[in-house]
Amino acid sequence: MNLSQDELAILSGSRGSGAARAMEILSALGRIGGAEDMVDVCSVQVSGVSYRNIGPHGLAFLQEWAGQGSKAVVPAYMNPGGADRRLWQTLGLPAEFVDKQERVIKALSKLGIKPTLTCTPYHAAPRPKFGDHLAWSESSAVCYANSVIGARTNREGGPSAIAAALTGRTPRHTLHTDAGRLPTTVVEVGCPAPTASDAGALGYLVGQLLAHDPRGGIPFIRGVEPPEDSSREAWLKALGAAMAASGSVGLFHLEGVTPEAAASGPELQKAAGRKVKVDSLEGAKRGLFSAKGRPSLVAFGCPHASLDELKRLDELLKGRKAVVPVWVFTSEAVRKKAEKSGLAGRLSSLGAALIADTCIVVAPLADMGITNVVTDSAKAAFYLPSHQGVGVCFESQEAAVEAAVAGGQLCASKAPQAASSGGGAS
């Protein structure tokens, strides 16, 4: 690693022992990643926020680092924690868990990291620009930043993201470089994917196809386009989130749509070493279905919902009250906008609660007696069975709303089917 004079000074303690520790971590990771130098970052997103994930040892680690006195020198944001800080009692979360969660947030705040508590920082904070270098952590946020915005970030771990926040740097390798952003596989899509849930199923399948690619998984996707209406962003978000979950994909190129693919699509295609085809999404949808019995919850907002997505939910409910509880996960920033406009109150009157600061994947569902969840999120459907031990009915947003209003007969009448890992791909 070639460290600048300023970086060497940080390593020697010019910004305090916390920043020195951070530079030591980044230097070691840079050597492992083959980086020759560091790059300045515009913003940081820190994962490892939920107490449910990091536990007592993770909390002690954060408290010890926070005690060393250094603070973030660039805008830095927290990923979701394990509890809605306003509504935790209403939701039935244990007070002991919430107290420990607050200690995590306090330690990170002491490091200068803002408690945005969202996996969609682009909805809750200034949006990065094309070409900006970032140090983001959450898999769907990383994929969105790289693919939809055209910014540049590797997927940081919690400690490396904190280190980037305290120094304003991250090692320049992989997705921070031109060569590291070239596609490895052309994916020809031969079936329609009009909705966000379809995009999620497609992303889940593409991620599976690329998960074991020794050259890394960066797809160049052809044959499918996002809608042109207000659901476009949700479609792109769902595609990348599922791909990141099932295949650790940090960047996708969508022909004519994503920034780099729109600018130099033919050249990017030539770099790919192989080609696969997806001709059906049905196997992927079956593979994401694991529910047994009636659902106890209908969940939207994984990744966190935007204001447009909340408006769409209101349109689908059509004034009908949900029989099954509906939780919509979003950021506190978006929830406040929805409250100001009256949208949050209207949704609440129909049985749809806006949940902020946390996520369906990291909230302690078992403590709340939740056994089966209906969701339109392929990312949630992928993670919930293994992370939370709950069954999932993966449906479109429209069908999930009908399940909420009708009392869940939709899932009760469907039997999970085993799906091949190919799911319509060749």
pLDDT tens-digit map of 36-65: 999 999 999 999 999 989 999 999 999 999
Q: Please provide the CATH number assigned to the domain covering 182-285.
A: 3.40.50
Inter-residue contact 113 to 165 (CB < 8 Å): yes
Q: What is the pTM of this model?
A: 0.93
Question: pLDDT over 90 for what percent of the chain?
Answer: 82
**pLDDT score, position 419:** 37
Distances (CA, A) of 296 to 330, 366, 407: 20, 12, 9
Q: Which of 261, 105, 98, 284 is nearest to 209 (CA)?
A: 284
Higher pLDDT, 415 or 237: 237
Q: Locate the DSSP E strands across 52-159.
A: 76-78, 134-135
In degrees, rounded to 5, the angle at the alpha carbon of residue 30 between the alpha carbons of residues 29 and 32 is 65
Mean pLDDT over 316-322 rounds to 96
CATH of 289-412, one of 3.30.499.10, 3.40.50.300, 2.60.200.20, 1.10.3720.10: 3.30.499.10
Q: Above 80 in pLDDT, residue 99?
A: yes
Q: Above 80 in pLDDT, residue 412?
A: no
Higher pLDDT, 52 or 417: 52
Give φ, ψ of 289 to 5 degrees: -100, 125
Burial 140-169 (b: 16+ CB within 10 A, else e): bbbbbbbbbbbbbbbbbebbbbbbbbbbbb
Q: Please provide the CATH number assigned to the domain covering 5-176.
A: 3.30.499.10
**pLDDT score, position 281:** 96
Q: Which of 243, 240, 181, 187 is nearest to 211 (CA)?
A: 243
Mean pLDDT over 23-47 rounds to 97
Residues facing residue 276 across a β-bridge = 187
**pLDDT score, position 181:** 96
pLDDT category of residue 214 using cuts at 50, 70 and 90: low
In terms of DSSP bridges, do strands 38-40 and 169-171 run parallel, antiparallel, or are they unpaired?
Answer: antiparallel
Give φ, ψ of 89 to 5 degrees: -70, -40
**pLDDT score, position 417:** 45
* Mean pLDDT for the chain overall: 92
Q: Above 70 in pLDDT, residue 408?
A: no
Mean pLDDT over 231-247 rounds to 96
**pLDDT score, position 31:** 96
**pLDDT score, position 376:** 97
The residue count of the chain comes to 426
Q: Above 70 in pLDDT, residue 290?
A: yes
In terms of DSSP bridges, do strands 297-305 and 326-330 run parallel, antiparallel, or are they unpaired?
Answer: parallel
* Across 184-198, 250-264, 334-348, 410-424, least confident range: 410-424
- Tally: H helices and E strands in the chain: 18, 14
Mean pLDDT over 119-136 rounds to 96
Residue 170 CA, chain-centre distance (Å), reads: 20
Distances (CA, A) of 36 to 28, 32, 132: 12, 11, 19
pLDDT tens-digit map of 134-174: 999 999 999 999 999 999 999 999 999 999 999 999 999 99
Mean pLDDT over 93-122 rounds to 96
Written in H, E and C, the secondary structure of 117-140 is CCCCHHHHCCCCCCCCEEECCCHH
Q: Above 70 in pLDDT, residue 414?
A: no
- Fold match between domain 5-176 and domain 182-285: no
**pLDDT score, position 418:** 38
Q: Which of 258, 248, 257 is nearest to 218 (CA)?
A: 248
- What residue segments make up the domains of the chain, in order of their start? 5-176, 182-285, 289-412
**pLDDT score, position 107:** 98
Inter-residue contact 163 to 137 (CB < 8 Å): no
Inter-residue contact 83 to 360 (CB < 8 Å): no
Q: Above 90 in pLDDT, residue 255?
A: yes
Give φ, ψ of 325 to 5 degrees: -55, 135
